[in-house]
Amino acid sequence: MGNYAIILAAGKGTRMKSSLYKVMHKVCGKAMVEHVISHVEKVGMDNIVTIVGCGADAVQELLQERSEYALQTEQLGTGHAVKQAKSLLGDKKGTTLVICGDTPLITEETIQSVMTHHQESGAKATILTAYANNPSGYGRVVRNQEGFVEKIVEHKDANQEELLIQEINTGTYVFDNEALFETLEKVTNDNAQGEYYLPDVIEILKQEGHTVSAFQMKDIEESLGVNDRVALAQAERLMRQRINTYHMQQGVSLIDPSSTYIDSDVVIGEDTIIEPNVLIKGKSIIGKQCFIGMGSEIVDTIIGNQVNVRSSCLEQSTIDSGVDIGPMAHIRPNSVLGSHVHVGNFVEIKNSIIGSETKMGHLTYIGDAVLGERINVGCGTIVVNYDGKNKHRSTIGSDSFIGCNANLVSPVHIGNGAFIAAGSTITQDVPDDALAIARSRQENKLHYVEKLPHKK
Ligand code: UD1
Ligand code: MG
């Protein structure tokens, strides 16, 4: 007896009005179908089968080996979709969870509860239901006078009386596996949409005298099925609240949670403080006791402890502990900042390694370079990495001093302890401990001003 899961992800999602397939739309930085599979995986399944059709390649590329796949070439309805898993699961004994790829908020705990309820009740099928204030668009759960579930009627097929029912089908079900595939053969497409509805399995089982059960989830918010952009925004808001609450419970201070945007997989350490209008995206990891100031955007970046980021943008980089960045700095992909580096305002760093305790306080561009430790990079320094055709790399040795407004024309190597005079344009390597001056000499013309016409 095993546990199996079928994730429905073959629909195009017409109501999204998008060239992107519905289940690939992201909620808090992660595709809806990925949220669903993450929850399902945690429950522990012997097999997970995802039904793909529209956008099959994209879904498979995203989920990879986390799932097996069954192809639904024509989208003839949710019942037809589940039937496509027959060759993979049809002959197995056990319990099968069916869940829609467009319900990203359903949690692992709820999935576990409905499966336990199903197994304890001995029913052939159990539907996960929810009580909705606005049930419009969902399938309604029709119960008989004794309170037992009779059937599910889709919104488009419902009569006036049924439309008033507020208990909805969440699109998640648990079945006895053999009963599921046997009964699917009996489902017809005689309804308003001309589709093979999965929920019809419930009514057929009931009519055949089998026990059918319903499990009403406590938190209605988990039930949201995303069919259009309005629901997508609702899902985003609810998921964001959930994520932010989690981080606060873990010891992260969010000055204004309603304007803090943290993606699902982000990790943040204790005593980190996050100001309003901050976005932390992708696979970012932030250490302990950091300060992330207002307006910062951090994407796929790993940050150590006690790092101070003010109103800056960091992408795909690694920042060691004690670093101080901003305001208005831009750390572009592939940069590594060693411990206690200082990056001040209007500094851009790209594809470069910066050794510990190196400082660049203002108005600097470092691109395709390797910098040693304890360097002072003066205001207005530019690594001239691009000749119009190719990018070149430069190195700057430890303990060197780069004067203000220097151009370091790559490829060039500045030795350890070297001193570059302000305003120099350096085109040749500078040995260790050497002073390099590359600017025209100053000439003072004494008493010249007195001879100027307007002074006469
Ligand atoms: C479905 C349920 C409805 C329930 C609601 C919950 C049916 C007939 N209706 O309606 O009772 O209240 O979910 O959110 O099941 N899909 C396929 N192949 C298809 C059709 C759909 O794989 O041929 C997939 C979609 O990609 C989607 C899921 O099944 O992930 C549900 O389809 P959708 O069209 O969103 O159904 P709803 O109208 O929301
Ligand atoms: Mg739906």
**Ligand 1 in reach of 196 Cβ (< 6 A):** no
What are the Cα distances from residue 108, in Å, to 36, 42, 105, 114, 172?
A: 9, 6, 10, 10, 12
Ligand 1 atom 16 nearest Cα: 11
pTM attached to this predicted model: 0.93
Determine whether the shortest distance from the Cβ of 128 to ligand 1 is under 6 A. no
As given in the structure block, the two tokens for residue 162 are: 């049924």
Task: Name, in order, each residue with C-beta under 8 angstroms of 184's C-beta and a sequence gap of 6 or more.
Answer: 79, 82, 83, 86, 196, 198, 201
Q: Is 75 in the pocket of ligand 1 (CB under 6 A)?
A: yes
**pLDDT value at residue 113:** 97
| Token reading at 56 | 């099959």
Taking a C-beta distance cutoff of 8 angstroms, is the pair 359, 338 a contact? Answer: no
Q: Is the CB–ligand 1 distance for residue 8 below 6 Å?
A: yes
Instruction: Return the H-helix or E-strand segment holding 131.
Output: strand 125-131
Distance CA 317, CA 124 (A): 52
Q: What are the strands, taking DSSP E only, across 289-351?
A: 291-292, 297-299, 302-303, 308-309, 313-315, 318-319, 324-325, 330-331, 336-337, 342-350
Beta carbons of 156 and 195 less than 8 angstroms apart: no
pLDDT at site 389: 96
**Ligand 1 binding pocket mutation candidate from 100, 105, 153 (most atoms within 8 A of CB):** 100
Helix (H) or strand (E) holding 63: helix 56-63
> What is the reported pLDDT for 234?
97
SS3 265: coil
* Atom 36, ligand 1: residue with shortest CA distance: 78
CB atoms within 10 A of CB 428: 9
d(CA 146, CA 357): 74
Question: Would you say 257 and 248 are in contact if contact means Cβ atoms under 8 Å apart?
Answer: yes
In DSSP terms, which residues pair with 6 in a beta bridge? 49, 98
- Residue written as token pair 């989690």: 246
The closest of 39, 56, 79 to 264, measured between CA atoms, is 39
CA of 226 to the centre of ligand 2 (A): 6
- Closest of 406, 447, 449 to residue 430, by C-alpha: 406
What one-letter code names the amino acid at 37? I
Both tokens of residue 439? Answer: 């600017």
Which amino acid, residue 11?
A: G
- The encoded tokens of residue 309 equal 């980021």
Q: What is the CB neighbour count within 10 angstroms for residue 387?
A: 11
For 360-395, how does the pLDDT look when each residue is reduced to its tens digit (9 = 90+)?
999 999 999 999 999 999 999 999 999 999 999 999
Give the number of C-alpha atoms closer than 13 A to the C-alpha of residue 381, restricted to the C-beta side: 29
Residue whose structure tokens are 């004494």 = 446
Residue 235 CA to ligand 2 center (angstroms) comes to 13
Q: Known catalytic residues? A: 362
If one residue of 37, 67, 78 were mutated to test the ligand 1 pocket, choosing by the most ligand atoms within 8 A of its CB, it would be 78
Q: Take atom 28 of ligand 1 and give the residue whose Cα is closest.
A: 100
Q: Write down the pLDDT at residue 26.
A: 98
Per the CB < 8 A criterion, the answer to whether 236 and 173 are in contact is no
Extract the residue ranges of the chain whose pLDDT is less than 70.
none
Among protein residues, the one whose CA lies closest to atom 9 of ligand 1: 139
Instruction: Decide if 141 contacts 149 (C-beta within 8 A).
Output: yes
